[in-house]
Amino acid sequence: MSLYRHRLPQLSGDLFLADAGIETDLMFNHGIEIREFAAHTLLPDESGRQAMADYFRAFLSLARDAGAGFILDSQTWKAHPHWARSLGATVEELRDANRESIDFIAGLRREFASNARPIVLAGIIGPRGDAYAPELAVAAREAERYHATQVGWLAETDADFIAGVTFTQSDEAIGLVRAARAAGMPVVISFTVETDGCLPSGQALGEAIRAVDDATDAAAAYFGVNCAHPDHFFHVLEDADWARRLRSLRCNASRRSHAELDRSDTLDAGNPRELGRQYADILDRLPWVNVVGGCCGTDLRHVTAIARAARARS
């Protein structure tokens, strides 16, 4: 059963950690092939499932040792109908993958039940289309109808909330928030930005957050930024109403643009210590941010450095 759906503990302001870039870590650091960059495809394979379990156990142990809560993500970023054809999957198989993924992380939560701080299950939903280069604009009404399918699947599980991550346009985020609200699910939106601090659609980050709040009566629990390096958006952060809606930060290790990362067949892991210092700078500017982890190119080293920076300022 869901433990926190009606009261998300990360809203308390206490420190919560998240994991790193699961796909890039497993692929580049552990030599595990992930078909179509869709981590849920590892679940049916015993060795792939074990690799993911070991990956998450390391972060859950870090959270335990840091005295922090943990946001435990499902592997369902691409487990929605847009990707059925490229994955060679039926809609029914994608539905089952969502359920299996939540069952998988719920088992890990039970395994770490002795952690002093809450472990919250996030049902992850990715954008419809390429998160680095959106193929088309998605109207809010269309996005609501589309995302309602996966939201409905996740609402039937132990997931505590819906997390729309790497979203590229505010209208699609509006649709997801409305779909989650209709299903009675708390929802968080995390946008990705380009090197200029704007969404891939060209919209300013602050404008996107305000647009979602205005269209949904501020129904999202909070917002975040993920899949971008701190250098790409630090300059747009300010003490403003929209910035105070930011609570989550999950950055890339690399300073490369999305286009450069897309073309690269090697991993740019950046500098974990430097990334930790950059998180410290962001937390000095936005001290209300309390959910921190990594994204593409990061691993346990990066999140450990980030946790130290966040703990020093919590």
pLDDT in tens, 226-245: 999 999 999 999 999 999 99
Q: Please give the backbone phi and psi of residue 122, each rounded to the nearest 5 degrees, phi first.
A: -105, 125
Residue 2 lies in a domain: no
Question: What integer pLDDT is reported at residue 133 of this predicted model?
Answer: 66
Residue 308 lies in a domain: yes
Question: What integer pLDDT is reported at residue 313 of this predicted model?
Answer: 80
- pLDDT over threshold 80, residue 218: yes
Residue 3 lies in a domain: no
Banded pLDDT at 257 (limits 50, 70, 90): confident
Question: What integer pLDDT is reported at residue 266 of this predicted model?
Answer: 87
Asked whether the beta carbons of 212 and 170 are under 8 A apart, the reply is yes
Residue 264 lies in a domain: yes
Q: Which domain holds residue 279?
A: 9-313
- pLDDT over threshold 70, residue 56: yes
Contacts (Cβ under 8 Å, ≥6 apart) of 215: 140, 174, 177
What CATH number corresponds to the domain at position 278? Answer: 3.20.20.330
Average pLDDT of the chain is 96
What domain count does the chain have? 1
Residue 165 lies in a domain: yes
> Which pTM does this prediction carry?
0.97
